[in-house]
Amino acid sequence: MRHAATADEKFHWITTASIPGLVGTLAVPTIVSMLISALYNMADTFFVGNLGTSAQGAVGIVFSLMAIIQALGFTFGQGSGNYVSRLLGQRRAEQAEQVAATGFFTALMAGAVLTVLGLLFLTPLVRFLGATDSIFPYARDYTRFILLGAPFMAGSLVLNNLLRFEGSAFYGMLGISTGAILNIALDPILIFALNLGTAGAALATVISQLVSFCILVLQCGRGGSLPIRPSRFSPSLALYRDILKNGLPSFCRQSLTSVASICLNLAARPYGDAAIAAMTVVSRITAFASSALIGFGQGFQPVCGFNFGATLYSRVRQAFWFCVKVSFAVLAVLSAVGFLFAPQIVLLFQKSDPLVVSIGARALRFQCLTLPCTSWVILNNMMLQTCGESFKASILAMARQGLFFLPVIWILPLFIKLLGIQLAQPIADLFTLCMSIPMGVGFLQKLARLEQKTTAVHTPGPHT
């Protein structure tokens, strides 16, 4: 795998190399990182599932809190990262360093505030996240440790995003993957060998996140990427406005993921712990499939940002269509496998409760029907956000889990009960696709017009 030695070499590579090879080279480490991270999330679900249905339900409850932490990390990570990629495309490295440092240190402080507030209000927080009486003690133990790791989780997400937006995804992969593999190894030791139960799963997550954080800090400045220096921390209203504007779509997407998860737990609660556990399992399975798409899209984002900043609009369009075609084909294959073997897949995570398997298998099959459609939605969202179309990207980011999912998850169960819960996400996906098609097509047409103007400016006139 190629790694540019200097910033100039990296700029030349990203703005001139063949699109399929370039996206593939940048996407492989991000796909590996996403798949391993999704795998360790599934490992938590698998190991905790051996403690019982209520304990497994606690994983789904705490997933909402993890989504809040991720919202912080992705807001400052994506907000500073895509801004940095455009600045590097414009050859403004010093300003890019200030943006990177400010995003990173602000995320650390925001994570620390969340830790303090969460621990002060631990019991009402766990209830708010949707825990039943039987799930509550497991979720409380899990939540306490996750809160302690919030600053490192948020900081790791920022560093990983910065590295991959700078075209140094390999270094980000080292940090994220090492921590995720460590988490998988620690889960059985802490949960069973040391008899810590769900608290052991949370402790494994915190330890692995701390290790990832330390490795990612060491990777900054390597391979032509920007170093993170405290002296470059430059908080100002203008800079925060730009970072938050760029990170707004990520904040909308991640925070609504948390809200949607809470609402899903609350909607499933009348049907018992088995329903919460089943939807938790299905969420982790589909997240694993989606992680490959997100990782592939993360390989597209630095290509998009650098080339947009360098006014090479045709390369942005070419990269987008290449990624959409490849990701749709891969997701179609994964969806077919998931649909055919849904009961067997859910059974891997819950062997003791056939009701969980029954509820989960039907929900998984429904979600497999619409999963390939998310290729256009996610890549379109990434393109809009990376190119600075913050408002459109934010609307699209809110659509899947907010504008469409939230009304569906509350209204549909009133008429068809549990089936409504199982159908909520696929229906939301279809509505989101319908919204995203005209938004994406319109922006691609805008890029074509910008390309024509740029070509006209650089085309010499006739000799006189």
Q: Transcribe 10-61 into DSSP letters.
A: HHHHHHHS-HHHHHHHHHHHHHHHHHHHHHHHHHHHHHHHTT-HHHHHHHHH
Instruction: Note the pLDDT of residue 457.
Output: 65
Sequence length of the chain is: 464
Tokens of 422: 């199982």
| CB 246, CB 82: distance < 8 Å | yes
Beta strands in 243-339 (DSSP E): none
User: In the prediction, which pLDDT does 5 show?
Assistant: 55
**Nearest partner of 203 among 182, 174, 221, judged by Cα:** 182
From the list 142, 141, 159, the residue with the least C-alpha distance to 210 is 159
What is d(CA 419, CA 268) in angstroms, rounded to the nearest whole number? 11
Query: How many angstroms separate the CA atoms of 447 and 443, rounded?
Result: 6
Please give the DSSP secondary-structure letter assigned to residue 344.
H
What are 172's two structure tokens? Answer: 């980000």
| Whole-number Å distance between alpha carbons of 390 and 206 | 32
- Asked whether the CA dihedral 262, 264, 268, 273 is positive or negative, the reply is negative
Q: Which of 447, 406, 453, 451 is nearest to 427 (CA)?
A: 406
Q: Are 213 and 180 in contact (CB under 8 A)?
A: no
Predicted local distance difference test score (pLDDT) of residue 3: 46
- Cα distance between residue 450 and residue 37, in whole Å: 38
CA distance 178 to 187: 14
Distances (CA, A) of 290 to 60, 296, 333: 18, 10, 13
Within a 13 Å sphere around the CA of 3, how many CA atoms are in the beta-carbon half? 15
CA distance 353 to 347: 9
Distance separating alpha carbons of residues 55 and 37, to the nearest angstrom: 21
Q: How many domains are contained in the chain?
A: 1
Question: Which residues does 17 contact at the CB level (< 8 Å), separation at least 6?
Answer: none
In the three-class reduction of DSSP (H, G, I as helix; E, B as strand; rest coil), residue 389 is classed as coil
DSSP letter for each residue of 141-172: HHHHHHHHTHHHHHHHHHHHHHHHHTT-HHHH
Residues (pLDDT < 70) of the chain are 1-5, 457-464
Q: Is 276 inside a domain boundary?
A: yes
- Give the per-residue pLDDT at 57: 81
Nearest partner of 98 among 238, 232, 243, judged by Cα: 232
CA 426 to chain centre: 19
Q: How far is it, in rounded angstroms, from Cα 390 to Cα 396?
A: 10
* Cα dihedral 47/52/57/58 (nearest 10): -70
How distant is the alpha carbon of residue 9 from its chain centre?
29
| Boundaries of domain holding 371 | 7-453
Q: How far apart are CA 278 and CA 364, in angstroms?
A: 10
Residue 63 to residue 287: CA distance in whole angstroms: 12
Does residue 147 lie within any of the structural domains?
yes
Task: Classify residue 462: in a domain, yes or no.
Answer: no
CA distances for 269 relative to 263, 276, 423, angstroms: 10, 6, 16
Does residue 464 belong to any structural domain of this protein? no
Residue 2 lies in a domain: no
396, part of any domain? yes
> Is residue 35 situated within a structural domain?
yes
Tokens (6 digits) for 355? 């009701």
Cα–Cα distance for residue pair 463/328, rounded to 1 Å:
49
**pTM as predicted:** 0.78
